[in-house]
Every structure is written in structure tokens, then in C-alpha cells.
Copies of this chain bind each other. A is one copy, B any other.
Amino acid sequence: MDKTSKVPLYFQLMEELIKKIENQIYNEHEQLPSERELCTIYDLSRITVRQALQDLEREGYIYKLKGKGTFVAPKSYDQHLSTLYSFTDEMAKLGKTPSSKVLKFRIITVDERLAQKMEIEALEDVYEVVRLRYADDEPLMYETSYLPCKIFPNLTAEQMIEKPMYDIFQKDYQIGLTKATERFTATLIRDDEAVHLNVKAGQPAMLIKRFSYFNNQLIEYTSSIARGDKFAYTVELT
């Protein structure tokens, strides 16, 4: 640490720790020295160390476990938002093995509110499909999809288990996505989702609502809970 520099000390400490994480001197999920130890190692005040750790946590480099300490966070996935994408394809591109578990598959009748969202008639039937999405056996997203029955007649849970949803659309129904709208809000992981996602309830998550279209026909409405520690979304504005 250079105490005469105009580079704030907590920036210097952040840089030092990030280098150690990037050079894998500290590995994923490895515990970092405690606040107190970092004060001693780098001869810094508690307030400086705390600021650096807070900012590293915010930046997604580390995570804290209450009463246990500070650990190196896993790397997150950066999703660029411009063209249509699917979880399956994106994970495959990154060399990960995508898979899904179907937690629920049933037909329900939509109420007015959901019908309006889906641009269908109230009291129409839709499939409600809840899936857990994995990359290399790590659960990352908890998704609830609604698909109009009249667009996908005779759809079964077995099809959903066998192949990716968009493959079913394409191969079994000759329906491809032509556009989609996604709406992002920040939320907290609930108890019932935490169990499946293998994280603590109350952790941050991205709530993504996707409305997919085939020409001007809505074919899918999906609400996804994406783990906040694993996903970032980037967009370009012009």
C-alpha cells in the first residue's frame, strides 16, 4: 500500500485482493483473511478494510457468510441483451453442460390478469411448467413458463424432460421465436426457491419476465428467478 498516493487506500486494497483472486492465489469459495487480519497484513485501518470488502462484495468478487467470514465468489455469466438467446445455447457456448429438471407440469385456466398479459382470452387453458435450469449440475435459474394450449396441442411433461423447450417449439411444432421482450427487476430469493437454487433465502436475484412471439402471436410467458451472484446483463444504448 502506498500511503502517499492519491489513489484511495481502499482502492489499493481492492486491487491487491482482486489480483490475488484473478491469479488464483485465492480460489473460488476459499476463505479470505478476516477484516482484522487484513488490517494487520496491509497496515490499514478497519474502516479502509471494511470499505474495500464492501465494494468487493458489491462487485461480485467475494461473498460473506454470517459468522463464518469472507469467501471468493464464483464467476458470473455475462449475458448480452440484443438478439434472442436461450439459456441452453448460451451455456453450451461457454462449454458448460446445460440441463433442466421439470418440477411441475400442469394445465390451468388463466384468470383475466394472466390472459391480458398473454394476449389471450380469459379462461383459456395454458400449460404451467416450472423448471430448474442447471449448468454443469449447478442450479442457476428457477423458471415458471406459461404456454397457450391451443398453440402447443398435446404437449407433455415427457417432451419437456427430453429436450430444450425451444427445440420442442421448433421441431415438434414448427414454431420459432421471432422476437421477445424481457423485463428486469431486482428481487430476493424466497425460501421455496432457495431450496432448489442451493443458496440462502434473502439473497439478491434478477426477476426476468420474458414475452416471446412468433410473428405477432405470443407463444410464451416465462418468469425466471436468476441467481444474482451468477448473472449480469449488458445492453447498449445509442
Q: Taking beta carbons and an 8 Å cutoff, which residues of A are in contact with B? A: 5-8, 11-12, 14-15, 18, 54, 58, 60, 76, 78, 81-85, 107-114, 123, 125, 178-188, 190, 202-207, 226, 228, 231-238
Contacts and interface: CB of A to CB of B under 8 A. Distances in A.
Contact of A187 (B179, B204, B207): B204
Contact of A7 (B81, B110, B190): B110
Contacts of A202: 202
B228 A186 contact: yes
A179 B238 CA distance: 5
Contacts of A6: 107-109, 125
A185 B60 contact: yes
Contacts of A185: 60, 76, 206, 228, 231-233
A14 B113 contact: yes
A237 B180 contact: yes
A235 B235 contact: yes
A42 to B, nearest CB: 14
A113 B181 contact: no
11 contacts: A6-B108, A7-B108, A7-B110, A18-B113, A81-B235, A84-B238, A180-B237, A184-B184, A186-B186, A186-B226, A235-B235
A45 B39 CA distance: 54
A186 B109 CA distance: 32
Contact of A232 (B123, B184, B231, B237): B184
A217 to B, nearest CB: 16
Leading 6 A-B pairs by shortest Cβ distance: A186-B228, A6-B109, A186-B204, A186-B186, A186-B206, A184-B233
